[in-house]
Amino acid sequence: MPLRIYLSNDTSARAAGAERLAEAWAREPELEVVRTSSRGAFFLEPLVERDTPEGRLLWPQARPDDLPRIRAGDGGVPLSRIPFLAEQQRAVFANFGTAEPLSLAHYQRHGGWRGSERAMGLSPEELISEMKRSGLRGRGGAAFPVWHKWDIARRTEADQKYVVANADEGDAGTYCDRMIMEGEPFRLIEGMLICAKAIGANRGYVYCRWEYPAAAMTMQRAVAEAERAGRLAVDGRPFRLEVFRGAGSYVCGEETALLSSLEGGRGMVKVRPPYPAVSGLYGKPTVVSNVLTFATVTEILARGADWHASLGTATSKGTIALQLGGRIKQPGLVEIPFGATLAEVLERFGGGMADGSRFKAVQVGGPLGSLFPESRLEIPLCFDAFNEAGAVLGHGGIVVFDKETDMVELARHYMTFTAEESCGKCTPCRIGSARGRELLERIEAGRGTAGDLALLADLGETMKATSLCAHGGRAPYPVLTALEHFRDEFTRRFSHGAVHPAHH
């Protein structure tokens, strides 16, 4: 019997060298390399695993010449000895690391299709009440109650309804949707089938961002596999599912822009109401939800609403998938129940700051999220607390900045990002972000004045209050929180010109 070893095929793992290992070992005799999903502990990649009678053993940061050690079983670490993984409470990502992305057999053996099979036996009303009891809220950023969206789509009469998975995961430092599509694509398909059953849809689309070629490819294959296996059906009618690739626009993560793009138009935001659940794709009722949301739906149907409702806080039920990045020791995916504090997560899972660096700020919720200084890290990770703080959990991205970071440059960078990704439809975002970027460029170049800061704040208030969508409405937050917590870095530029703060 050849030795079976497991190696992730996830894009992050490949970037860390998994492909080099796979190539090096391709012609090794008596060796079977099984490509799997990733555990999301990217600081350990490339991570090689093998089965032992005591369970899996892991060889972190493996090199080609580690093969003899792995064959011999030398130096392998059991999962329980890696706190980053052992201390998580994984549900949606429970199979990550073992799941073989396109193996229907593996998926079935590890609980696959249980959720959708159960759903097919329930009525739409029962499904919606199941979602209501679970307390699931959308994971894309807006945190809208899933049951409510489904119920509106279900009640709206139409000859055609759609289910659309938002896989336009554009926030810098987020990757959990990509992991799902690359690692356990059937889980997403299942969630979409369950939704289709609940609302009465027979067509679905996965809107996958252009920058995720591997995810799109895997999804396409998974759809074909599922279809071949007769899984793409709702109430005996075929459910047609297609993977659609976006064209590289950040704002197409906004649901109405996404739908415009999917229809073949410019990816521009539309006014709401009507919401997509009433009038979405081609004017038909459409549920647009994030990939992680659908993946969670699958788990809720498999395990029951009560299981989900038992996790998390009063209004933030279930688990949150945090994606740690930036200047910390242990970047990677962390799935835990809602409610832990930001400080706790950074310390316990992030493992503290990377060697030689000191903490300065952390941004939660993507490029439109607020910055938190050290004094604000006790905030619990749940929707309400963030809402009260005027911040957002967004899609769970957490990026840590160290003392080397120039906050003026960072603020300018964010406003530049907003300006470059603005769809150009509404005035506060289209012109406001351009003016904001110019003000910050001026300050960065040492030509700013106190009046510029006041103008920036005034502009920020108007952008927040009047923008058509969250792109313009949230854009001021990173800038204004940088200004709030690190004001002296801005004022210092007035007289001294462009100086890197590390030189002080």
Partner 1 sequence: MAPSIPLTINNRQIYADAGDTVYTAAANAGIAIPSLCASAQLSPYGSCRLCVCEIDGMKGLHASCSMPVRAGMTVRTESDQLTKHRRNLVELYLSERPAGQRLEQLADLAKAYGVTEVRYPPGAERAPIVDDSSPFFTFDNQRCISCARCVRACDEIQPAFAVSLVGAGFAVRPAWGAAGLDGGGGVASSTCVSCGACVKECPTGALTEKTILQEGPPTTFVRTTCAYCGVGCALEAGLRDGRVVSMTPADDGPANHGHACLKGRFGWTYNYAKDRITEPLLREGSSWKRAGWDEALDFIARSFSRLKDEAGPDAVAAISSSRGTNEENYLFGKFIRCVMGTNHIDNCARVCHSATVTGMMETFGASAATNSIRDLDAAKLILVAGANPTESHPVLGAKLLQLARRGVPLIVIDPRRTEIARAATVHLQLRPGTNVALLNGLGHVIAAEGLVDQAFVEARTEGFADWQSTVEEYPPDRVADLTGVPADAIRRAAVMYATSGASLSVHGLGMTEHRWGSHGVMALCNLALATGNVGRPGTGINPLRGQNNVQGASDSGCLPTHYVGYQRLNDPAVAARHQTITGRPLPSRRGMKIPDMWDAALEGRLKGLWIIGYDVAQTDPNLNKVRAALARLECLVVQDLFMSQTAKFAHVVLPGASFLEKDGTFTNLERRIQRIRKAVDPPNGILPDWQVVCEVSTRMGYPMRYGHPSEIMAEMAALSPMLAGVSYERLEQPAGLQWPVPDPQHPGTALMHEERFARGNGRFVAVDYLPPGEEPTPDYPFVLITGRLLEHYNCGAQTRRTDIIHLVDSDVLEVHPEDAARLGLRDGDLVRLVSARSSAVLPARASSRVRPGELFTTFHFPDSDVNSLLSSSADDSSKCPEYKVSTVRIERLDDDEELDPEDEAERRRVHSRLGMVP
91/274 Cα distance (integer angstroms): 34
Pick between residue 70 and residue 475 the one whose CB is nearest to partner 1: 475
Residue reference for tokens 């289709």 = 196
459 binds partner 1 (CB under 8 A): yes
- Closest-CA residue to 162 (of 256, 240, 231): 240
Residue reference for tokens 């604000």:
376
Angle (CA) 205-210-212 rounded to 5° is 90
Contact in structure between 166 and 276 (CB atoms under 8 Å): no
* Residues in contact with partner 1, shown as a per-residue x/- string from 338 to 357 under the rule CB under 8 A: --------------------
- DSSP H or E stretch at residue 465: helix 450-466
Rounded distance between C-alpha atoms, residue 474 and residue 313, angstroms: 25
Binding mask 258-297 for partner 1 (x = CB under 8 A): --------x-x-xxxx------------------------
Contact between 491 and partner 1 by CB under 8 A: the answer reads no
The first and second tokens of residue 129, run together, are 């009440």
Beta bridge partners of 8: 36
**Closer CB to partner 1, residue 7 or residue 268?**
268
Q: Cβ 450 to partner 1, closest distance in Å?
A: 13
If the CB atoms of residues 38 and 256 are measured against partner 1, the closer one turns out to be 256
Give the shortest CB-76-to-partner 1 separation in angstroms.
51
Please say which residue, 115 or 253, places its beta carbon nearer to partner 1. 253
- Asked whether the beta carbons of 288 and 276 are under 8 A apart, the reply is yes
Q: What's the residue count for the chain? A: 504
Task: Give every strand in the sheet of 240-245, ordered side by side.
Answer: 240-245, 203-208, 162-167, 286-290
433 near partner 1, judged by CB under 8 A: yes
CB 423 within 8 A of CB 251: yes
The correct pick among 227, 344, 409, 438 for binding partner 1 (CB under 8 A) is 438
Tell me the C-alpha distance between 493 and 47, whole Å: 45
Judged by CB under 8 A, the residue of 103, 160, 341, 462 near partner 1 is: 462
Handedness of CA 489, 491, 493, 496 (dihedral sign): negative
Q: How far is the CB of 238 from partner 1 (least distance, A)?
A: 24
Q: Is the separation of the CB atoms in 161 and 355 below 8 Å? A: no
Nearest by Cα to 180 from 128, 230, 139: 139
Is there binding between residue 19 and partner 1 (CB under 8 A)?
A: no
For partner 1, the closer of residues 268 and 311 by Cβ is 268
Whether omega for the bond prior to residue 53 falls within 30 degrees of 0, making it cis, is no
Under the criterion CB under 8 A, does residue 455 sit at the interface with partner 1? yes
Is 270 or 308 the residue whose CB approaches partner 1 more closely? 270
Single out the residue of 428, 476, 478, 501 in contact with partner 1 (rule: CB under 8 A): 428
Size of the site for partner 1 (CB under 8 A): 36
The CA distance from 377 to 7, in Å, is 36
Q: Which lies closer to partner 1 via its Cβ, residue 74 or residue 420?
A: 420
**If binding is defined by CB under 8 A, does position 466 make contact with partner 1?**
yes
165 phi and psi, to 5 degrees? -90, 125
Among 434, 453, 457, 499, binds partner 1 (CB under 8 A): 434
Q: Is 465 in the site for partner 1 (CB under 8 A)?
A: yes
* Nearer Cβ to partner 1 (276/501): 276
DSSP string, 144-169: -BHHHHHHHHHHS--S--EEEEEE--
Residue corresponding to tokens 């939800």? 289
Residue number with CB closer to partner 1 (409 or 438): 438
Tell me how far, at minimum, the Cβ of 262 lies from partner 1, in Å. 17
Kindly list the distances between the CA atom of residue 396 and the CA atoms of 169, 210, 255, 320, in Å, as whole numbers in the listed order.
11, 21, 18, 7
Provide the minimum distance between the beta carbon of 317 and partner 1 in the complex, in angstroms, as a whole number.
22
Please report how close the Cβ of residue 240 comes to partner 1 at its closest, in angstroms. 21
Nearer to partner 1, 126 or 420 (CB): 420
Give the residue among 96, 41, 46, 51 at the shortest CA–CA distance from 76: 51
Q: How is residue 354 annotated by DSSP?
A: P
Residues 396-425 that bind partner 1 (CB under 8 A): 419-425
Least distance between partner 1 and beta carbon 278 (Å)? 11
Tokens describing residue 389:
């703080």
Smallest distance from the beta carbon of 270 to partner 1, in angstroms? 8
Q: How far is the CB of 361 from partner 1 (least distance, A)?
A: 27
Closer residue to partner 1, CB minimum distance, 75 or 248? 248
Residue closer to partner 1, measured from CB, 86 or 465: 465
Closest distance of CB 430 from partner 1, Å: 6
The 8-class DSSP code of residue 248 comes to: S
Asked whether position 435 contacts partner 1 by CB under 8 A, the answer is yes
Pick 296 or 433: Cβ nearer partner 1: 433
The pair of structure tokens assigned to 495 is 């007289």
Q: How far is the CB of 438 from partner 1 (least distance, A)?
A: 4
| Chosen residue from 430, 446, 494, 499 binding partner 1 by CB under 8 A | 430
Collapsing DSSP to helix, strand or coil, 202 comes out as coil
User: Least separation, in Å, of the C-beta of 272 and partner 1?
Assistant: 7
Q: Given the rule CB under 8 A, which residues bind partner 1?
A: 266, 268, 270-273, 419-428, 430-435, 438-439, 442, 451-452, 455, 458-459, 461-462, 465-468
